Structure 1
């Protein structure tokens, strides 16, 4: 090769070894060639695995592993500089188990175009890729509380969370044993609280090894849930319960039991024939909707009274016995209420 000039040209020399002694000269239509010369450079790129397709219903894509994670590219500097990524593709369409395959490596520009050039070389042209396929399952989240609100306040209803159930994923043998995600009470400690309590809980820390959450970051779910415990004031209300709403039950055979209205009740000023018992209650305001004294009922259980006194049968007389009121949800008595009960032997009607 003749010497290159400063402008990267070479003079072309023509020769032949056939009939050379019969030729006076050899010439071409060009006697100079222009060369495009640039530096040869190398670049190391991480290999990205692109997983295409959707697994079978009830399964998701798990981890991907490769036998190589980088590729070395060498070639003309102007070409290598355009290469921004190295990728290979594996399809998992319809799969319900792991897949392992060989995948070719492609080089890409920043705008996603494949780079191909005769003078480009790579140290490897393909890699082995394994894609895990995981089974999924929907499970409930169980929330519980610890502590008690400040005196005069109560928890109104169950904890409210932006998610009551989630999907988990893992090997079938692992997720089969997961029945629910149980949040320990310490996460929702309401001790001494007098207003709504809000907590952000990371569900990931309460999953067994080998089980993961199926997150949906596109819709804002990253494995964390917001939980609100509603804490409201307790109100007190007094009701006039008609004594006729009380019933004596479990009277022993051979005895009669009678509620002594005069000693227990208070005459209603608007109806002298109706006797009522004042019952003070406490509860959460909205539970009182539609509740009236006339709708409350109670029982006096003679057998419970005898059992507590260690007796099997009563003696005749008047006894102060506890009234067991049936209260609506969210409402309770502020104190125990009693009624005077007269016990007497039943009149059998026998005559001597």
Structure 2
């Protein structure tokens, strides 16, 4: 009996020891898993209900609040394992205030975690910048890159569609200069079609990337025409006459030839590019003009590489006059009839040559060769006969006075 009581007493001590151990463990665990706080930064904020602003024809940019920082309070064992990926931050744009701000709400993705922590936002406000939404149409510009096979060139390009509708913030759309579709033609020697993505560029040739700008199509079907090339000379022919006393001393233009591209049958018909509408009428001083070669080409033919304009420089110089002394022996009597004798008489007859100084100053009667055609002169005295002079480039003549020829029959003398 006493022995049993003793054994029961030992069991009670053991149970008490276990209970004390459990209590001690719980106390230690509670002390080690204490309440703590921690800041978690740069949680991305998701915007919802943005279609509310679309209905008002407005777009927005986030000025501040695209990420949020929070203070998390809870047990160390929970808080210590958390990072920004464990939270969801929401900004409901339909609740935007008159100051263009939206409150940010943050929750833990896990309901269990959410129930064990307290969350405080460092700054729970998203600031928006609202702007008018505009729509504008732009032509699609096809840009080729690379070099075609030697002897071939791009003759023309086109795209389908050829117009794109752009929508976005007014300030952003106003910066757009071009919508480009780029196509690689490296080593190509025949026409082809391809699909090309559209890209937006500003006036400085820099690509614009803005997720608030949208295009009604993302790409275009581009057609590229490639043909063999042909080099032909350029000829400039002037029209009209300079002012009185002035002449065209020279015409200089660059380039003097041009490389053309187009269908073979069209190129075969082109031997020169004739520029024939540059006028010098009434001019008394040097003149320069730019001529677009494309204006003188048939449909389907275009200029390769170089700018399609040529610069034409025309030198207008005042003409010099020189009077040539004429005697009766100065004339050449052409086509004389056998048996006839010819006697020339001049009456105040003079020849004045006009032209550029370097030419006129060297002229003599031997150069001018005053000539009378005797074939139509019968026996008798012929007053004011026609005198012809040798044509010399850049020289014009003025004759005054008269020339008479007396024709006699030598057999009657």
Q: How does 1:185-200 map to 2 (within 5 A)?
A: 188=279, 190=281, 193=282, 195-196=284-285, 198=287, 200=289
Aligned counterparts of 1:123 and 1:194: Cα–Cα separation in 2: 55
Give the TM-score of the pair, scaled to structure 2. Answer: 0.50
Cα–Cα, structure 1 residues 113 and 31, in superposed 2: closer, same or farther, change >3 Å?
A: farther
How many pairs does the alignment contain?
297
Select the structure of larger CA radius of gyration. Answer: 2
Name the structure 2 match of 1:102. Answer: 195
Which residue of the other structure, out of 220, 228, 236, is the alignment partner of 2:314?
Answer: 228
Alpha-carbon spacing, 1:241–1:288, altered in 2? closer, same or farther (3 Å): farther
**How large is the RMSD of aligned CA atoms in angstroms?**
5.6
Is 1:132 matched with 2:217?
Answer: no
Q: Are residues 1:53 and 2:146 paired?
A: yes
Gaps (5+ residues) in structure 1? 16-25, 267-276, 307-313, 348-352
Distance 1:215 1:158, change over 3 A: farther
Q: Secondary structure of 1:143's match?
A: strand
Structure 1 position 301 matched with structure 2 position 373: yes
> What CA distance in whole angstroms lies between the structure 2 residues aligned with 1:299 and 1:111?
70
Which has more strand, going by share of residues? 2
- Please give the secondary structure, in 2, of the residue aligned with 1:54: coil
**Aligned equivalents of 2:89, 2:254: Cα separation in 1:** 78
Aligned partners of 1:127, 1:328: CA distance in 2, in Å? 63
Listed one character per residue, the Cα deviations across residues 264-302 of structure 1 (whole Å, up to 9, x for unaligned) are: 489xxxxxxxxxx97422311422232234555344432
Larger relative CO (CA 8 A, sep 6+): 1 or 2?
A: 1
What is the alpha-carbon distance in structure 1 between the residues aligned to residue 196 and residue 261 of structure 2? 26
1:192-341 alignment to 2 at 5 Å? 193=282, 195-196=284-285, 198=287, 200=289, 202-203=291-292, 204-213=294-303, 216-217=306-307, 223=309, 225-226=311-312, 228=314, 230=316, 232-233=318-319, 235-240=321-326, 243=329, 246-252=331-337, 255-260=338-343, 264=345, 279-286=350-357, 287-293=359-365, 296-303=368-375, 305-306=376-377, 314-315=378-379, 322-326=386-390, 328-329=392-393, 330-335=395-400, 337-341=403-407
Structure (1 or 2) with the greater helix fraction: 2
Q: Distance in 1 between matches of 2:215 and 2:373?
A: 91
Cα contact 1:55–1:61 (8 A) shared by 2 = no
Change (3 A) 1:100 1:300: same
Q: Contact conserved, 2:89 with 2:105, CA < 8 A, in 1?
A: no
Deviation for aligned residue 1:100:
0.6
